[in-house]
Amino acid sequence: MKIRLLLVTLFTALFAAGCGKTDTAASTASADTSAPAAPAKAAEQPKAGARTIEITANDQMKFSVTAIEAKVGEELKVVLTNAGQLPKEAMGHNWVLLKPGTDVAAFAAAAAAAGPAKEYIPDAQKDQVVAHTALLGPRKSDEITFKVTAAGDYPFICSFPGHFVAMKGTLTVK
Ligand code: CO
């Protein structure tokens, strides 16, 4: 029995080697060549893991985090949680990261004009937005993952009407 099994194995091996141009053999070959490349792939792994920053917003119109520091090229995952109880229409919160140098007051005015249907993200000023979460009602969370590619001071706000005065902070990228 053992010999027969060995022969079958040998035959299979010979068959595979003999038919080097079949799809099966080709895929086996490509799988083999990709094996040595695995360490290179593994070296890229840390990049894939975004650093998580948890931020809560509340009925007192406060962000729990107002200063964030990051390195150029770093990937960040901002998780925003509305820990409040007031309805979304009265006390909704989002987290909007703006490009360095953005006129925050002007953006906030445009956001208010855009209204709830746009979740206070104005179409005409979207090029000033680096990243933003959804507008959240009480006990809701949303997350956004993005990469900061240039150094600078990036303002972030809640763009719900009137909130940016109190709900603001800065992401400093060096
Ligand atoms: Co808010």
Instruction: For ligand 1, an ion, list residues with CB under 5 A.
Output: 93, 158, 160, 163, 167
17 Cα–ligand 1 center, Å: 66
Q: How far is the CA of 159 from the centre of ligand 1 (A)?
A: 7
Distance 112 CA to ligand 1 centre (A): 12
Whether residue 55 contacts residue 120, with contact meaning beta carbons closer than 8 Å, is answered with no
**Helix or strand or coil: residue 65?**
coil
24-58 burial by CB neighbour count: b if 16+ within 10 A, else e?
eeeeeeeeeeeeeeeeeeeeeeeeeebeebebbbb
Give pLDDT tens digits along the chain (174 positions): 444 544 444 444 444 444 444 444 444 444 444 444 444 444 444 456 899 999 999 999 999 999 999 999 999 999 999 999 999 999 999 999 999 999 999 999 999 999 999 999 999 999 999 999 999 999 999 999 999 999 999 999 999 999 999 999 999 999
> Does the global pTM surpass 0.75?
no
pLDDT for 26: 40
Distance 94 CA to ligand 1 centre (A): 6
- Sheet strands side by side (includes 129-132): 67-70, 168-173, 152-157, 96-98, 129-132
